[in-house]
Amino acid sequence: MASGYTQQDIAKMAAEIESLRSQLAAKEEVVSNLESDVTKLESHISKLEYELTWLRKKLFGKMSERFINSDPDSRQLDIFGEQLSDNEREELERAATQEQELITRIVTVSKPRTTRKDISFENLRVEETIIEPEGLNFEEYVCIGTEETNRLAYKPAEFFVKRTIRKKYALKNQLTEIEDEQEKRPSVVIAPLPDSPIHKCMADTSLLTEIIIQKYLYHLPFHRQIARFGDLGVRISSSTVGDWFSQSCELLRPLYDHLRRRVLSTDYIQVDESTLPVIDNEKRRAVKGYLWVVRNPDNGEVFFHYDRGSRSEKTALVLLHGFNGAIQSDGYQVYNRFEALDGKLMLGCWAHARRKFDEALAENKKLATEALLQIQSLYAIEREADEMGATVEQRGELRSTKAYPLLVTFEKWLYDNYTTLLPQSRTAKAISYTYSIFPKLSRYHLNGRYRLDNNLVENAIRPLAIGRKNYLFCGNSDAAIRAAMVYSLLGSCKAAGVNPAEWLGDVLSKIYSYTKENRNMEELLPHLWKNSQTCIES
């Protein structure tokens, strides 16, 4: 051949070219895989950065998502859609501006500075110490006044023995009982022993009250209390304290049952659930259990429910089986079943929806800010109603005229913006979550009694969250049930504005007689007990 290449050389070069093409394809595949890995790693890094930012905010930052600062130069947000007419756009823009001004006014109003208040000594015992000048000849001086200096003193807890002495009396003439047939009198007389809440128990009511209050109000586990008792000179075993506590809870169980019936007899409740580690004897470790919390928003009465630690749909159905009315909850999926049941109206929680958008701020500031501003507008209407002292009817009217148009606009905004986002993004998840439960979220405008969110029932759970950080777990299911009972009663004390220690001490001293005389124990519940104490004082 003229080129000098033989057929064999051409075949060899063709084979080399084919080999190079194969290597190039392999390299391109490797590059493609590496690019895919880089994309995944970037996504993972972004997720880790977000989690780190969230954890830093959780530990050191401001967690409230109540307000979001808007840029005054870019306040006009495109949330109304392109298909609206100019008149509709102007009207909605005017309404948005008014709501934003209301938010700004509420946020920027400075709180009046509170002056430091002196410590109140009104209800405290006063111990006086009189100091005379030393080396003074009082015959030459006359007292012209005094100067008083008050210091707040503290006396540590004290154990003492409460001894009851009952005197016995006998007839001087033992035959009188037989001879005096018209008026027979016993030969020996002794006063009856006062009732004790626990039979043959050495602990006085005051000590039983202190043990319960210290653990479930001040979150001091039993072993720490026992250590403190030892410092005060009294040695009590943990088994004895546990027995006293369990027997006290058995006395309080009828009260807990009455409280539960009272809360479920209303027509509007708030529901939530929280974790409570419980020791599983078979697995020999603590397992995650759940306490359900049901609250009456009208008076704050609350009860906790433990059912083997389950968070299942079946547990929810059994718990709320006999209830008829409005049920407010978060977006937990087990509550979806109630939508199909007669006599139950499901309400959503705007605080949970707002939290989702607050978490999406770092990813998509524009859309998250738009959502948060619209949610703020709804809360601004509620604050307006609070400021004017609106009745239930006035609040409902305010919601119908002001909140309902905003709800319609926000629902459309959710629908229009979801399709522009990647489904796995946090903003898309926030929109999807809010849109999926929007019927529940918007129903609050139907009645002025309904709340915007579930925050109050979450506040009722806080003592449980603090307590489990101290005592860590419950020893078994029975202990978890007792914890639910005590948290219920103490939580209702807080709602009624009752001193828990005073209430518990009084109830433990009376509950035995209520049982023996078959009296209505519902009178001892905190709200009713408070009314009876007010009547006694007046």
Separation of alpha carbons 395 and 397, rounded Å: 5
pTM (two decimals): 0.77
Buried b (16+ CB within 10 A) or exposed e, 33-60: eeeeeeeeeeeeeeeeeeeeeeeeeeee
User: Any idea how long the chain is?
Assistant: 538
Give the distance from CA 44 to its chain's centroid.
33
Separation of alpha carbons 396 and 383, rounded Å: 13
E strands, 465-509, in order: none
- Give the dihedral sign, CA 302/307/312/318: negative
- Counting other chains too, the contacts that 445-449 makes at CB distance below 8 Å and 24 or more residues apart are 445/396, 445/399, 445/400, 445/403, 445/404, 445/407, 446/396, 447/326, 447/392, 447/396, 448/390, 448/391, 448/392, 448/393, 448/394, 448/395, 448/396, 448/397, 448/399, 449/268, 449/297, 449/298, 449/392
Give the distance from CA 440 to its chain's centroid.
21
**Which CA distances in Å does 360 have to 54, 61, 124, 145, 191?**
11, 16, 52, 69, 72
Token pair 């209800």 in the structure block, residue = 123
Token pair 């012209």 in the structure block, residue = 144
* Helix (H) or strand (E) segment spanning residue 20: helix 7-60
| Angle ∠(525,528,531) on CA atoms, nearest 5 | 140
> 288 with 495: CB under 8 angstroms?
no
In tens digits, what is the pLDDT along the chain, a chain of 538 residues? Answer: 455 678 887 888 888 888 888 888 888 888 988 888 888 888 788 778 777 776 776 676 665 666 555 444 444 444 434 444 566 556 556 655 655 554 454 444 444 555 555 667 777 888 899 998 888 888 888 888 899 888 888 887 888 898 889 898 888 776 454 455 556 677 788 888 888 888 888 899 999 999 999 999 999 999 999 999 999 889 999 999 999 999 999 999 999 999 999 999 999 999 999 999 999 888 888 899 999 999 999 999 999 999 988 999 999 999 998 899 999 999 888 998 898 888 999 999 999 999 999 988 888 889 999 999 999 999 999 999 999 999 999 999 999 999 999 999 999 999 999 888 888 888 999 999 999 999 999 999 999 999 999 999 999 999 999 999 898 889 999 999 999 999 999 999 999 999 999 999 999 999 988 888 889 999 999 999 998 876 666 5
Separation of alpha carbons 147 and 125, rounded Å: 19
